[in-house]
Amino acid sequence: MKNFRFKASIGLLIIIILAPSFLFFEVPIKARPQYSPIYLQDNVFIENSINMPEKSSPTDLIKQKLSLKFQELLKTQNLTQRVSCFVLLNEQPTERIARQVESSLIQYDRVTLHRTIYQETKKVTLPIQDALISTISSLGGKILQNYVVINALLVDIPLKALPDLAELSQIARIEPNYKLQVQLDVSQLAVTNTTAPGWDYTYNGTDVVVAVFDTGIDKDHPALVGRVINEKSFVVSEPSPNDTDGHGTHVAGIIASTNTTYMGIAPNASLVNVKIMDTSGTGDTSQLLNGLEWLLTNTSHSADVINLSAGTIAETDDGDSTLAKLVDAIVSSYNIVWVNAAGNTVSRIEVPGDAMNCISVANFNDGGLLDPSTWTIAGTSSRGPTADGRKKPDVAAPGTLIKSCEEGSIDFVEKSGTSMSAPHVAGAAALILQYLRTNNPSLGSSWHTLLTKGILLHTALDLGSPGWDNAFGHGAVDMGAVWNFLQSGDFEVGTLVPSYGICIYTLNVTSPQYVNITLLWNREASTDWEWITFNDLTNIDMRLENAQSYIEAYSTSTVDNIEQISYNASAGLYNLIIEAVDFKRNDAQGYALLSNYPITFQEFIHTWTPTEIIILVSVIGIIVVVLAYILLWLRDRKSKPPQTQPSSELSSWPEWPQQPDF
């Protein structure tokens, strides 16, 4: 067995190096996160020497963790001044806890679900936050408020201490307590009756709760009597939840007015009045968070839809702000539809209308006519895409000279802006939710929430440039088209996991026609450090193949959580392939699929994960090494000359040399 160990080692190295390459001629290659212990690149199996980035310098930490506003203040302002800031922590456990709670509760209503998620999350976040009290105090700071809906703190601290605060490993982001500003008879028909036969008002929002985060609501207005079921003010200077500005009452009327002339979109929906802005139409992030904490824990009615007709331009619209992440977490973890005005800034989307999971709404002018060919985008309506290149706004709705309830009066008044567009969509979402709960109760609230957004985008009336455009988004909300889709369209929901990251559906097209397909999913709240600098949105692609596996159409955005295909299909059998290209460390990803033509689920396809590859290569390597040992041993034994001295037939092994006696 001369040189055996050397030969075996060489053989093992060759197997380990070459086996992954041979395997991946048959297996789809998955992109891996930048900092992973093992990853694949150009068919080569590579091991990183580290699995975390190098420690950032203090300067880099400031750039990563401090908002641009604070970076500017540190250069120009008196460093001894105190600032109020939001401190977002790295650990964000809500998504994980929400899934655990949903699976553990055998029977539950939405109030119980939301409260349980909140309380279980609080058990995790409170110790993390308490551990920072002494450190923040040593920097001259004071914790003003602890938050659970997103693991964050409101802190009062000297400006000069912010760089030291940013160096703490528990901190993900530090931002100012941003100011939020409101975004200022045909519109209801334009939304509900554009496409014949129009929406069936058997579904009118019954048992659906819409929370209006605004300047308050005048619940005594004749068109809103009986609609407000709970209310609270989070404006310290205005403890009464009554509306003294008029904006919130106008928004509430668009959603749920019962007036026969100026009817709301969902006239039987219930409203929760969450007052977070004062008589000047101004609020801040802390008031929004305080309102959310109350909504999820201290009300007898759980919200199904949230309408926020407000935003800020103080933060970049890249989906990375605390506000945007908050919205995404509320939608994904608490299964609430979040509708946000896109803004009236023209050149950009206002935060948090840039959030991935929200429905961002632009403003079009219907001109008092029901003819879509005359509808134009409002000159002040915010345009997309977002700073990170995503498709926002999502949809458009009437928002110019909209007549709705007037605060402190029995009359109605006209107002304009995306503030008026968003509640049209919030009301539309309430109608869809009622329909899904009535006709598809087994799907559950998490799928209902995702499908509601998907249905609104899938059925939107395409205006402006064909397909998505930066003004109308995917088009004008069209509840007539929604009704038609719910009667004759098809939708599926599913979950991809790393080991089964591909799903195949079939379409049997019987005659030439356009096939329109929409795929969407939510960004889920992350629990690791990558949430700071990396987009943790799972990347899913969609392609349509004919019977010969030729790709006829595809959608492969790397930044959006929606993919769409519109293809003029000939008669024949087609395969629709949904593939998770990169899970971004998510252990599963739910999705909704909508089509104007029937789709049939076929199968999930097994995909190789890095762990499975390592195990397989290791097993192959071990088997090969064992076989090599046996073969080399047999060869060496055969090549030895015959023994000349007598030896026992029972033993072919050499004897140990005799030790001398002492």
Does one domain contain both 413 and 343?
A: yes
Give pLDDT, residue 590. 95
Catalytic residue among 114, 214, 328, 478: 214
Give pLDDT, residue 584. 82
Angle between the N-to-C axes of helices 110-130 and 285-297, in degrees from 0 to 180, rounded to the nearest 10: 130
**Residue 654 belongs to a domain:** no
**Residue 646 belongs to a domain:** no
Does one domain contain both 189 and 335?
A: yes
**The two three-digit tokens of residue 215, written as one number:** 């300047």
Give pLDDT, residue 43. 36
47: helix, coil or strand? Answer: strand
**Residue 332 belongs to a domain:** yes
Catalytic residue among 419, 421, 445, 446: 419
Give pLDDT, residue 278. 96
For residue 601, what is the domain's CATH number? 2.60.120.380
463-475 residue pLDDT tens? 999 999 999 999 9
505-518 residue pLDDT tens? 999 999 999 999 99
**Residue 381 belongs to a domain:** yes
Q: Which amino acid would we find at residue 450?
A: L
**The two three-digit tokens of residue 371, written as one number:** 């003819």
Rounded Cα–Cα distance for residues 220 and 208 (Å)? 21
Rounded Cα–Cα distance for residues 272 and 196 (Å)? 32
Does one domain contain both 584 and 617?
A: no
For all residues of the chain together, what is the average pLDDT?
A: 86
Taking the CB of residue 8, how many other CB atoms lie within 10 A of it? Answer: 17
Does one domain contain both 296 and 425?
A: yes
495: helix, coil or strand? Answer: strand
Give pLDDT, residue 631. 81
Does one domain contain both 398 and 476?
A: yes
* Segment 177-186 mean pLDDT: 77
Which of 132, 157, 177 is the last residue before a domain boundary? 177
Does one domain contain both 22 and 85?
A: no
> Residue 658: is its pLDDT beyond 90?
no
Give pLDDT, residue 540. 96
Active site residue 247: yes
Q: Which domain holds residue 546?
A: 489-607
**Residue 642 belongs to a domain:** no
Strand partners of residue 143: 155
Of 374-388, 446-460, 543-557, 580-594, the one with minimum mean pLDDT is 580-594
For residue 89, what is the domain's CATH number? 3.30.70.80
**Residue 653 belongs to a domain:** no
Does one domain contain both 140 and 194?
A: no
For residue 468, what is the domain's CATH number? 3.40.50.200
* Segment 344-349 mean pLDDT: 93
Check if the beta carbon of residue 537 is closer than 8 Å to that of residue 512: no
278-321 residue pLDDT tens? 999 999 999 999 999 999 987 778 899 999 999 999 889 999 89
Strand partners of residue 340: 308, 360
**Residue 510 belongs to a domain:** yes
Give pLDDT, residue 535. 43
Does one domain contain both 603 and 615?
A: no
Hunting for tokens 């300067």 — which residue is that?
59
Residue ranges in 150-222 assigned as alpha helix (H): 162-166, 187-192
> Residue 230: is its pLDDT beyond 70?
yes
Does one domain contain both 117 and 238?
A: no
Does one domain contain both 3 and 55?
A: yes
For the chain, the domain total comes to: 4
> Residue 531: is its pLDDT beyond 50?
no
442-498 residue pLDDT tens? 998 889 999 999 999 999 999 999 999 999 999 999 999 999 999 999 999 999 999
Does one domain contain both 428 and 321?
A: yes
Choice between 264 and 610, residue whose per-residue pLDDT is larger: 264
Report the percentage of the chain scoring pLDDT > 70.
84
Active site residue 419: yes
Check if the beta carbon of residue 254 is closer than 8 Å to that of residue 404: yes
Cis before 385 (ω within 30):
yes
Q: How confident is the model at residue 532 (pLDDT cuts 50, 70, 90)?
A: very low
Q: C-alpha distances in angstroms, 627 versus 18, 635, 638?
A: 18, 12, 16
Rounded Cα–Cα distance for residues 589 and 289 (Å)? 27
Catalytic residue among 114, 221, 247, 458: 247
Of 307-316, 497-506, 597-606, 650-659, the one with minimum mean pLDDT is 650-659
191-226 residue pLDDT tens? 877 777 878 888 999 999 999 999 999 999 999 999
43-101 residue pLDDT tens? 333 333 333 344 556 666 667 889 888 888 888 877 889 999 999 999 988 888 998 89
Give pLDDT, residue 469. 97
Which of 159, 177, 195 is the last residue before a domain boundary? 177
Residues in the chain: 662
Rounded Cα–Cα distance for residues 659 and 243 (Å)? 102
Active site residue 214: yes
pTM > 0.85: no
**Residue 662 belongs to a domain:** no
Give pLDDT, residue 467. 94
Choice between 187 and 83, residue whose per-residue pLDDT is larger: 83
Give pLDDT, residue 15. 58
Which of 462, 484, 506 is the last residue before a domain boundary? 484
Give pLDDT, residue 616. 78
Q: How confident is the model at residue 635 (pLDDT cuts 50, 70, 90)?
A: confident
Choice between 388 and 34, residue whose per-residue pLDDT is larger: 388
Does one domain contain both 587 and 628?
A: no
**The two three-digit tokens of residue 298, written as one number:** 């201290």
Check if the beta carbon of residue 148 is closer than 8 Å to that of residue 121: yes
Report the percentage of the chain scoring pLDDT > 90.
65
Give pLDDT, residue 181. 84
Burial of 261 (0-12, 13-18, 19+ CB in 10 A): exposed
